[in-house]
Amino acid sequence: MAKIKKRHTREEQKKLSELASQELEALRARIDELEDDQVKQFTKFEELPLTKGTLKGLKESSYVTMTDIQRDTIHLALKGHDLLGAAKTGSGKTLAFLIPVIEKLIHENWNEFDGVGALIISPTRELAMQIYEVLLKIGKYSSFSAGLVIGGKDYSFEKDRIGKMNILIGTPGRLLQHMDQSATLNLDNLQMLVLDEADRILDLGFKKTLDDIVCNLPPERQTLLFSATQTKSVQDLARLSLVSPKYVNTSSDATTTPESLEQSYVVIRLQDKLDILWSFIKSHLDSKILVFVSSSKQVHFIYETFRKLQPGISLMKLHGRQKQKARLETTVKFTESRNCCLFATDIVARGLDFPAIDWVVQLDCPEDVATYIHRVGRSARAGRAGKSMLMLTPSEEDAFVKRMDARKIQPKKLNIRNSKKKSIRDQIQSLCFKSPELKYLGQKAFISYCKSVYIQKDKEVFNLKELPLDEFAKSLGLPGTPKLKLPVGDAELEKQKQRKNTSRQLKLLAKATDDGELEAKKVRTKYDKMFERTNQGVLSEHYLKLNADMESDRDEEDEFMSIKRQDHDLGAEPDLDAPTSKRAIKKALSKKLSSKDRGTGTKMKFDDEGVAHPIYELEDEDDFHKLGPAEQQKAQFVAQEKKSMELADVEDKDVAKRKRQEKKIRRKELERLAEESESESESEADLDADLDADLEESDSDDERPAKKPRWFENKPHARPEPEQPRVIEYEQPETMEDLEALTERLIRGD
Ligand SMILES: Nc1ncnc2c1ncn2[C@@H]1O[C@H](COP(=O)(O)OP(=O)(O)OP(=O)(O)O)[C@@H](O)[C@H]1O
């Protein structure tokens, strides 16, 4: 969070405020007089009735000429209308709402004691940061404070300052968290609510959060909605309490993609995608390329594989499951790089303004045309040139091309030249063969891709049955096709889809502690600690990389799919429960473990193959019902358990009886031995002591003989000292057989 502008002295402030109020009066009059037709002739910001400070901030940021959406919306927003603005990607929507936000607060004479005057909601942190940066630039000459409230940052830091902010920019989850928990946050005076990428914020993933935010805002505010693909859903507008909104759509009369964008598509088999992508990258090494895939697992796998194959261009990855810090670092790195290739999921498809992207490649078909538009819109921004290539499988082509055509999007169909095609299948197979971690990533990528196809609503485009999955698995270097466990029925499908859409932030928010410091206060499990170490051999490093994935996906994928173990033996998977450092091993062996370290432990049972299982394993509900009614299963279980307990009881009794008999025999033999032994030489005493100890040990569970055997106590002088003590050589008996053999030898006296 930062102040937009330095403070003035009281004198200066008085003077300024007099001038400002005169200036504002004049501006208000100009705004009231503005006619739509008149504005249509405007080309420059300075023609609009904007305050001097804003014009200066714009000019210094090199914003002089307005884009269409800016020209068509800013004056309406200045007049106080609610607004729905739709414009192509990269057409300057950010300024179209930031200028009215600043101007509105200036006109309202907003000051630091008035609290939050404007709230800007963005679907992603990266986009929120981008908006914040633009605000700092153009708002340089206004005296408002602006704050960024996004997940992944220090919550307490935000909480302490949020009450002093005039403009807040944030992601839905974090904003709601502050609304619930930060006592200083007061939105009662809110003048303006802005939703950037409104369609995304209004969709299912954010629905509940947005509704919760909006119902806590004063209804008499002004609301601006901006998006590349505008919703006019009456329901959505009602949710936001828009009042007679003005619709502005600068992309309605032409295609919804930038004119300067050269669009193409190729039809290739699913199993050839990686070969084609590789060939494409190799022939565009001097370009800045953004590659979209459907899931973070695919990003992970392709990034790791291609990195090992060294294409000769810098590779990067960006997806929602990365830590915020890594995401920001990659965003900055990609922004600054000239020749590089970024593999990403749709998290970056919306809003992010990467400069000078030459190519947007869509390795996987987008879920709908709106997503296509957002993806390709990362290139050819603000009138610059750019190219895009969409890869479609034969089963996707017809329906998706039809969908695009309906939106006046007609990419050119291209064929890949055979001479340009390079196959990396053998290399990938060999990499996966050598590296279990890569194979594991491949399996995850396979499953995630299939899942992403399966959950799509548009079945005409996305049909899992049409896809050559065995071939696809081979192309990922997998020795077999991972088994897919797909959700049954629409309800489950919808659940999966919703889960996919639901912001990870919201999940985190639900688990947040009272002060919201979820990340800072997260309990580090032994796995966390283990994964944080890097010096434990190759597999632990692999697991370090996979940790985030495993943690986040566990519940999601356990329900959905399973991997055929026999086909995909991960071989040397580490024993996650074993101590992993010298210190840990020492600690584990130490009998002086402190009680806090002891824990309760987990009881395991072993099956016939010696594989450990938890005592209680949850069975799948469907599998359970297949076995018959619960009552019947219960009765069967009780009968079965009773029978096995009876058997066990008989066995136990037999063992106990045998033990008693053996003990009796041994004792008798020893007594006899003692009696026969004439001399009580030291060696005999030692022998007896040893035998005694041995008896004590072996009979520890049973009746113990008296510590000092009776034959020593009762007959200390019973036998005369032999003239020549007999020396009997013996080995320490270890087993019952040894003991018996020794006893026999002693009896025989040899
Ligand atoms: N009036 C202008 N003059 C020059 N450049 C501009 C102007 N307005 C915006 N830009 C630049 O155009 C680029 C795209 O702007 P912006 O990110 O606001 O587009 P957008 O419509 O919000 O895109 P998206 O739909 O992808 O979020 C940015 O780099 C911005 O600096």
pLDDT tens, residue by residue, 708-732: 333 233 333 334 444 443 444 445 5
Residue 572 has pLDDT above 80, yes or no: no
Residue 637, CB-side half-sphere exposure with 13 Å CA sphere:
9
Residues 205 and 267 in one domain: no
Q: How far is the CA of 381 from the centre of ligand 1 (A)?
A: 7
Q: Domain of 145?
A: 36-251
- Which residue owns the Cα nearest ligand 1 atom 14? 90
Q: Identify which of 229, 118, 120 has the alpha carbon closest to the alpha carbon of residue 172.
A: 120
- The pLDDT of 232-254, averaged and rounded, is 73
- Which residue owns the Cα nearest ligand 1 atom 7? 92
Q: How far is the CA of 92 from the centre of ligand 1 (A)?
A: 3
Angle of CA points 395, 400, 403, to nearest 5°: 150
User: Is residue 378 in some structural domain?
Assistant: yes
Q: What is the mean pLDDT of the chain?
A: 74
Instruction: Supply the pLDDT for residue 258.
Output: 73
Instruction: Supply the pLDDT for residue 661.
Output: 83
CA 529 – CA 525 distance, rounded (Å): 6
CA 464 – CA 519 distance, rounded (Å): 38
Q: Identify which of 266, 301, 299, 270 has the alpha carbon closest to the alpha carbon of residue 470.
A: 270
The number of the ligand 1 atom at minimal distance from the alpha carbon of 70 is 1
Ligand 1 test: best mutation among 59, 63, 88, 94, most atoms within 8 Å of CB?
A: 94
Task: Write out the DSSP string of 158-186.
Answer: HHHHHTT-SEEEE-HHHHHHHHHH-TT--
Q: Which residue has the higher pLDDT, 623 or 165?
A: 165
- Which residue owns the Cα nearest ligand 1 atom 25? 89
Q: How far is the CA of 382 from the centre of ligand 1 (A)?
A: 6
Ligand 1 test: best mutation among 44, 48, 67, 72, most atoms within 8 Å of CB?
A: 67
Residues 284 and 376 in one domain: yes
CATH of the domain at 74: 3.40.50.300
Q: Reduce the DSSP state of residue 680 to 3 states and report it.
A: coil
Residue 480 has pLDDT above 70, yes or no: yes
Q: How far is the CA of 357 from the centre of ligand 1 (A)?
A: 14
Q: Choose the final residue of a domain: 196, 216, 251.
A: 251
Structure tokens at 78: 């200045």
Instruction: Supply the pLDDT for residue 20.
Output: 75
CA 265 – CA 619 distance, rounded (Å): 46
User: Is residue 279 in some structural domain?
Assistant: yes
Residues 454 and 390 in one domain: yes
User: Is residue 739 in some structural domain?
Assistant: no
CA 683 – CA 211 distance, rounded (Å): 90
Angle of CA points 475, 477, 479, to nearest 5°: 110
User: What are 410-466's pLDDT values in tens digits?
Assistant: 999 998 887 778 899 999 999 999 999 999 999 999 999 999 999 888 999 999 988
- Which residue owns the Cα nearest ligand 1 atom 18? 92
Q: Identify which of 319, 460, 314 has the alpha carbon closest to the alpha carbon of residue 395.
A: 460
Structure tokens at 11: 């004198």
Q: Identify which of 87, 403, 95 has the alpha carbon closest to the alpha carbon of residue 250.
A: 87
User: Is residue 291 in some structural domain?
Assistant: yes
Q: Please give the DSSP secondary-structure letter assigned to residue 258.
A: -
- Which residue owns the Cα nearest ligand 1 atom 20? 90
Among 349-358, 547-556, 595-604, where is mean pLDDT lowest? 547-556
Residues 308 and 404 in one domain: yes
Instruction: Supply the pLDDT for residue 678.
Output: 43
CA 428 – CA 442 distance, rounded (Å): 10
Using CA atoms, how far residue 74 sits from 100, 110, 134, 274, in Å, is 6, 20, 16, 45
Which H/E stretch holds residue 76? helix 68-78
Residues 59 and 119 in one domain: yes
Instruction: Supply the pLDDT for residue 638.
Output: 74
CA 440 – CA 431 distance, rounded (Å): 12
Q: Most confidently modeled of 228-237, 352-361, 548-557, 585-594?
A: 352-361
Residues 111 and 227 in one domain: yes
Classify residue 685 as exposed, middle or buried by CB count within 10 Å of its CB (0-12, 13-18, 19+): exposed
Residues 247 and 264 in one domain: no
Q: Choose the final residue of a domain: 251, 283, 308.
A: 251
Residues 192 and 209 in one domain: yes
Q: Report yes or no: 241 and 214 within 8 Å, Cβ to Cβ.
A: yes
User: What are 9-43's pLDDT values in tens digits?
Assistant: 788 778 777 877 888 889 999 999 888 888 888 99
Q: Which residues of 319-354 are buried (b: 16+ CB within 10 A; e: fewer)?
A: bbbbeeeebbebbeebeebeebbbbbbbbbbbbbbb
Rg, C-alpha atoms of the chain: 38
Q: How far is the CA of 386 from the centre of ligand 1 (A)?
A: 15
Instruction: Supply the pLDDT for residue 728.
Output: 46
Structure tokens at 275: 């070969």
CA 229 – CA 484 distance, rounded (Å): 34
Q: Reduce the DSSP state of residue 697 to 3 states and report it.
A: helix
Residues 157 and 304 in one domain: no
The number of the ligand 1 atom at minimal distance from the alpha carbon of 134 is 31
Q: Please give the DSSP secondary-structure letter assigned to residue 188.
A: T
- Which residue owns the Cα nearest ligand 1 atom 1? 66
Among 49-58, 335-344, 712-721, where is mean pLDDT lowest? 712-721
Residue 534 has pLDDT above 50, yes or no: no
User: Is residue 358 in some structural domain?
Assistant: yes
Structure tokens at 413: 């169909």
Ligand 1 test: best mutation among 47, 63, 352, most atoms within 8 Å of CB?
A: 63
User: Is residue 193 in some structural domain?
Assistant: yes
Instruction: Supply the pLDDT for residue 244.
Output: 85
User: Is residue 357 in some structural domain?
Assistant: yes
Between the two ends of the chain, the Cα-to-Cα distance in Å is: 94
Residue 121, CB-side half-sphere exposure with 13 Å CA sphere:
25
CA 132 – CA 127 distance, rounded (Å): 9
Q: Report yes or no: 158 and 178 within 8 Å, Cβ to Cβ.
A: yes
Residues 247 and 334 in one domain: no
Q: Identify which of 190, 151, 196, 197 has the alpha carbon closest to the alpha carbon of residue 167.
A: 190
Q: Which residue has the higher pLDDT, 43 or 746?
A: 43
- Which residue owns the Cα nearest ligand 1 atom 4? 63
Q: Choose the final residue of a domain: 475, 499, 533.
A: 475
Reading across the β-sheet that carries 386-392, which strands appear in turn? 314-318, 340-344, 288-292, 359-362, 386-392, 261-267, 412-414
Residues 219 and 364 in one domain: no
Ligand 1 interacting residues, C-beta cut-off 6 A = 63, 65-67, 70, 87, 89-95, 228, 351, 353, 377, 381-382
Residues 299 and 220 in one domain: no
Residue 739 has pLDDT above 80, yes or no: no
Q: Report yes or no: 131 and 122 within 8 Å, Cβ to Cβ.
A: yes
Instruction: Supply the pLDDT for residue 545.
Output: 42
Number of domains comprising the chain: 2
pLDDT-based confidence at 245, cuts 50/70/90?
Answer: confident
Reading across the β-sheet that carries 192-196, which strands appear in turn? 2-3, 145-149, 167-170, 118-121, 192-196, 222-227, 83-86, 246-249
User: Is residue 330 in some structural domain?
Assistant: yes
Confidence (pTM): 0.51
- The pLDDT of 311-340, averaged and rounded, is 88
Q: How far is the CA of 137 from the centre of ligand 1 (A)?
A: 14
Q: Identify which of 407, 124, 125, 368 has the alpha carbon closest to the alpha carbon of residue 256.
A: 407
